[in-house]
Amino acid sequence: MRDLRKKILLESGKTVSRKARSRPESARGSPLGSPAQSRASSRAASRYASEEEDVSDSEYEESVDSSVINSDDGEDAAATWTDRLQDRIAELLDRKRSSAKGRETTLIAYAHLIRHHYAAEQIENHFRELIPVLLRSIRGGANYEETVAALKALTLTILSTQSESVYDQVWSSLKAVCQDSEEESVKVEAIEAMSIATLCGGGSAEAAEDLLDFLIEIIESDGHSVDAPDNGPVVSAALTAWGFVASHLDDLQDQSEQALEAFTEQLDSTDVAVQIAAGTNVALVFEAAREHDEDEEDGAGGVAAGWNLQYDQHRLVQRMTALTRESSKAISKRDRKQLHASFASVVTSLERGKGPGYSTARRHASNPHTGGSRAEAGDFGDAGFREYGYRERLRVHNISMVVDTWSLSARVRTLRSVFGGGLAAHYLEGNPAVRDLLSSAHVELVSAPRRGPADDFTTPFKKARGPKAARSVAGF
C-alpha cells in the first residue's frame, strides 16, 4: 500500500517539502479517532518557524506565516491556519476518542499555531471548554510530555485571550503540579504559567505578592521547597518569574530585603543561568528603589523618604565585578562570555543608575565619512564626545524598541520565552497583552531593508564602519 501511494504521488508530481514535513501539523498525523477531518484548504503549504524557540536570525525571518504579513493571496492563506486551528481545537475537545500520544501531538500543534498567530477570535469561541480540557491534561496527563505540552498551550491561550477569570480556574492546579511533579520540565513550565496567569489572567495585587513569596521560597531553598533540590533550571525559572511579576508592582519595598538576600546567595551558584537571573533581579530591585526615591522627592518638595535599603551596595558591586572576570574552565566559553556581559551591564547599572545594556564607551561628535560637522560638537559635551548609551533593543519588522529599564527587560525576556519567533506576529497583529507588556518601551520607526515577513530579536549595539556607520550609531 505504501509503495502504491508513493508511486501515485510521484506520478502526480506532488511532493512534500522538507519544511512542510518538519512542521508540527504536517508531521503529527491525526490522533486515533480524530473527530474532525482536515479541510482541503488546510493542506496548503505555509511558512513556519522552527519548534526550537532559541532560534537564529534567519529562522526568526520565518517566524510568521507569510500570509499574515506579506502575501499576495493573504485572505486565502490566512484561512488555512484558522482551519487547521479549528481542527486541532475540535480534536482537543473530543478527549474521549483520543490516545495519549494523540493528545500530546495535538497540543503541540495547537500551541504552535497560536504561538505564531494572534488567534483570540478563534480561541474565545471555545474558551470555556478549552481551559478544563487543558487542565485535565495538566493534572492527569498520561506522561510528562503531555503535561508539558498542555502547560505551554495554557500559557499561550491565556496570553491570547486575557480572560479576567482564568486565574481562579488554573492557580491551584498549576501550583499543585509544580510541587508534586517529579519532572524538571513540568516544574519549569508550571512556574512560567503561574506568572502569566497571575498577571494576564485576572490575578489581584495580593495574588502577585503571594506568588512572589512562593518563588522566593524556591530560590532560598535551592529548589527544595518544590522537591527539586539544587535544580538549576527550576531555580532559574523562579528567578525569571520573580522579575517578571515584580516588574508590575508599584512598590517592592516590603519584598526587597528578603529578595536581595536570596539573590545575593544565588550569585555563588554553579549554574550560569541562575547567576545571571539573580544579578538582573538585583538590578531590578535597585532600579525600583531609585524610581521610588525620585517619586517621593518630586512629591515631597525635594525631601526624599527613600527605601533605606539595609544592604552594602559597595560589597555587592565588588562581588559582581569579580563575575565580569570569571575565568573558571568549568564554565564553557559561551557561558563565560554571557556571564561577563550580563554582569558588566548590572555593575554599570548599580554604579551609574542606568538600565540594562548601557554602554559607557564614547564616540566623537563628528564623522567626515557620514557628513558630520564640527558644529555638532557642542551637543556632545566636553571635547565633543558622548557615550553610546543604551544598546539593547527589541526589533519587530521596522519598529525598534529601546530596552532601557530592568522591568521592561524582564517582560521582554518572558515574552521571548513564551512566544519565541512568534512574538513579532502577536505584536504586529495587535495582541493587547503583548502591547500592554511592551507599552513602556520607547518606540522608533526604522527605515531599513526588511529581513523577512517579520523580525523579532533583541540586539545590542554593533559598531559599523564605512557609509553605514551613521545608521548604526543610532543603534539600528
Which tops the pLDDT comparison, 227 or 298?
227
Lowest mean pLDDT of 374-378, 405-409, 444-448, name the range.
374-378
- Residue 189 above 50 pLDDT? yes
Kindly state whether residue 307 falls inside one of the protein's structural domains: no
CA distance 119 to 126: 12
230 contacts 268 by C-beta, under 8 angstroms: no
| pLDDT (tens digit per residue) in 23-74 | 565 445 444 444 444 333 333 333 333 333 443 333 333 333 333 344 344 4
Kindly state whether residue 311 falls inside one of the protein's structural domains: no
Q: What integer pLDDT is reported at residue 434 of this predicted model? A: 96
CA distance 422 to 61: 10
Mean pLDDT computed over 75-101 = 83
pLDDT classification of 302: cutoffs 50, 70, 90: very low
Amino acid identity for residue 103 in this structure = R
Q: What integer pLDDT is reported at residue 59 of this predicted model? A: 36
Q: What integer pLDDT is reported at residue 367 of this predicted model? A: 55
| pLDDT (tens digit per residue) in 411-438 | 999 999 999 999 999 999 999 999 999 9
Kindly state whether residue 463 falls inside one of the protein's structural domains: yes
Which tops the pLDDT comparison, 105 or 362?
105
**Which pTM was predicted?**
0.77
Q: What integer pLDDT is reported at residue 469 of this predicted model? A: 34
Q: Which domain holds residue 417?
A: 390-473
Kindly state whether residue 416 falls inside one of the protein's structural domains: yes
Number of domains observed in the structure of the chain = 1
Rg, C-alpha atoms of the chain: 24
| pLDDT (tens digit per residue) in 383-418 | 556 777 788 899 998 899 999 999 999 999 999 999
Kindly state whether residue 107 falls inside one of the protein's structural domains: no
C-alpha cell recorded at residue 450: 526588511
pLDDT classification of 77: cutoffs 50, 70, 90: low
Kindly state whether residue 426 falls inside one of the protein's structural domains: yes
Kindly state whether residue 46 falls inside one of the protein's structural domains: no
Q: Give the torsion through C-alpha atoms of 261, 265, 271, 275, to 10 deg.
A: 50
Kindly state whether residue 444 falls inside one of the protein's structural domains: yes
Which tops the pLDDT comparison, 3 or 390?
390
